[in-house]
Structure 1
């Protein structure tokens, strides 16, 4: 009788271990699925933030380029206006600048 109880206990322990293995497998699968979901959402969030950062950088670059272009155009028009006001002085200054550059390049 005691041998039968021992066999029943052994069988119950064996069944409990099998159920524990199955539960552990289910838990592992659930954790892995949860991690995949977390990684996917994190990847999507990183993509969204990087697109926004790129968009902001592009906008700031365009603004800086427009400001530089406007400043260049203003400087060009200012120089053009000064040359129109004093053409003889402008020719003399350009001639002197050419002489200085020529002397520097001779060395």
Structure 2
């Protein structure tokens, strides 16, 4: 009788160990799936924030380009206006600048 009781206890322990293995496998799978989900959501968030940062930088770059283009256009217009107002003085200044550049290049 004692042998049968010991055998029954052994079988119960064996079944309990198998149940623990199954539970551990399920837990491991659940944790892995949860981590995959977290990684996926983190990756999506990083992509979204990167896209927003790129859009912001692109917008600032476009605004700076427009400001620079407007400033350049205004500068060219101002120079044209100055030349139209004082053509003789403009020719004289360009002549002197040419002489100066020529002397610098001779050295």
TM above 0.5, yes or no, is yes
Residue correspondences, number: 107
Structure 1 outlier segments of 4+, above 3 Å: none
2-structure distance, mates of 1:101, 1:37: 68
User: What TM-score does the superposition give when structure 1 sets the normalisation length?
Assistant: 0.97
Show CA shifts across 1:4-51 (max 9, x none).
111111110000000000000000000000111111111111111111
Unaligned segments of structure 1, at least 5 residues: none
Provide the aligned C-alpha RMSD in A. Answer: 0.6
1-structure distance, mates of 2:66, 2:24: 62
1:10 maps to 10
1:25 maps to 25
Using the TM superposition, give the Cα deviation of residue 3 of structure 1 relative to its aligned residue in structure 2, in angstroms.
Answer: 1.5
User: What TM-score does the superposition give when structure 2 sets the normalisation length?
Assistant: 0.97
